[in-house]
């Protein structure tokens, strides 16, 4: 795909100055380990530490396999008046390694 302002117009990107970005886009076409590659083959260190970051690196086969296995068993259920064994198991593990007053875990995906 050629990345031009016209070919990018259909997608509105949140948290991005769309006009500026689309006039000179940086499109990530590959990610491996701690690096991204852009559409020109430029290697970029992923040191963003941002929302939805991948602190363990990209393309980790063992992580992909674990995610796949979990998705085969149970992909998602809401946590409103329902529970999932994995969240209780993880909460129990976390409370075993935290100091005494920290004995309740609240999982969230953002601030």
pLDDT tens for each residue of 24-47: 899 999 999 999 999 999 999 988
Token pair listed for 64? 């992909």
The angle subtended at Cα 32 by Cα 31 and Cα 34, nearest 5°, is 100
Identify the structural domains of the chain with CATH numbers, from first to last: 5-62+78-97 (3.90.1150.10)
pTM value surpassing 0.85: no
pLDDT tens for each residue of 72-84: 998 888 878 888 8
* Pair 86, 71: CB distance under 8 Å: no
CA distance 42 to 25: 13
41 sits in the region (left: phi over 0; alpha: psi -120 to 50; else beta) called left
User: Across the strands, what pairs with 36?
Assistant: 31, 44
Q: What is the mean pLDDT of the chain?
A: 88
């Amino acid at each position: 795909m050629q990345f031009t302002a016209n070919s990018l117009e259909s997608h509105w990107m949140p948290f991005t100055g769309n006009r500026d970005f689309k006039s000179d886009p940086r499109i990530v076409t590959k990610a491996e380990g701690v690096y991204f590659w852009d559409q020109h083959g430029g290697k970029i260190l992923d040191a963003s530490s941002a929302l939805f970051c991948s602190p363990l690196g990209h393309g980790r086969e063992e992580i992909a396999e674990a995610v796949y296995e979990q998705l085969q068993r149970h992909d998602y259920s809401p946590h409103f008046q329902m529970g999932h064994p994995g969240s209780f198991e993880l909460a129990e593990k976390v409370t075993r390694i935290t100091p005494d007053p920290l004995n309740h875990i609240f999982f969230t995906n953002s601030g």
